[in-house]
Amino acid sequence: MPMSLAEVGCRSPRRQAFSWVEISSGSNRLGRERDAWGEPLNLHDIVRVAGATVLTPNADLDADVKCGFCADLMSDVLSLATPGSLLLTGLIQPQVVRTADMADIVSVLFVRGKNPQPETVALALELGIPLLWAKETMFTVCGRLYSFGLNGVERIR
């Protein structure tokens, strides 16, 4: 019988990385180890680790995520978030997507289970910005992503 990779014990690298999280015991060592491994996180990883739902059909989830940024104030995003950041926010208006476009944010993850307005999703589809959704709080999602190896923005000042 043909055997798939999983059956013979080979795992795809992504799946392997994820299993590390499941077996980790609660320190941030994991994140550091993953960093040392040198593979950037992508949106597939974010979706899996955050337990997120993808709101924009056919979104390109192969995009690398350089770091994470939490904010409910758009000026904060425009001022501090660096290109390639993932934005975690509780705001759901179209302006969030506009802000993401201006600041070269790779994707917006809505937290606290808030459903974005249809206009928000429509604008995201138009501008090609993947939208993700998680029901947990910003604190919880941020903690999970950090524990998986996602870092905050590099501070320049």
Partner 1 sequence: MTVGEIAAALHLEVIGANADLSREVRGGYASDLLSCAMAGAKPGDVWVTLQAHLNVVAVASLTEVAGVIITEGARPDADTVKRADQESIALLGTKEDTFSTVARLVKLGVGEPVSG
Partner 2 sequence: MVAAPGLLNGSELTKAQELVYELKVGQVMTPEVVCVSPEQTMGELELILRDGGFAGAPVVKDGHLVGIVSLQDLILSLEQGAVDDPVGNWMSVDLLTVREGDSVIEAVKAFSQRPVGRIPVVDVRGSLVGILTGGDITRGLVRALDVGYRQGEISQYRASHIFQDISSDDTSLTLRYRIPARDFARSGEASSKLKRALQRLGGRPEIVRRLAVAAYEAEMNLVIHTDDGGELLVDMRPDRVRLVVTDQGPGIEDVSAALEPGFSTAPDWIRDLGFGAGMGLQNIRRCADEFEIESRPGVGTRLDIVVRMAQEERLGRPGQ
- Among positions 105-134, residues that touch partner 1 (CB under 8 A) are 112
CA angle 143–86–23, rounded 5-degree value: 35
The only residue of 54, 61, 80, 122 in contact with partner 1, by rule CB under 8 A: 80
Q: Output the smallest distance, CB 51 to partner 2, in A.
A: 22
The only residue of 44, 48, 54, 146 in contact with partner 1, by rule CB under 8 A: 146
C-alpha 35/C-alpha 135 separation (Å) is 27
* Residue 22 binds which entry of partner 1, partner 2, none, CB below 5-8 Å type-dependent: partner 1
Q: Which of 105, 153, 93, 145 is nearest to 129 (CA)?
A: 105
Task: Decide if residue 96 touches partner 2 (CB under 8 A).
Answer: yes
C-alpha 93/C-alpha 100 separation (Å) is 12
Q: Which of 54, 74, 72 is nearest to 63 (CA)?
A: 54
**Which residues lie near partner 1 (CB under 8 A)?**
21-28, 30, 67-73, 76, 80, 88, 90-91, 112, 137-140, 142-144, 146-147, 151-153, 155
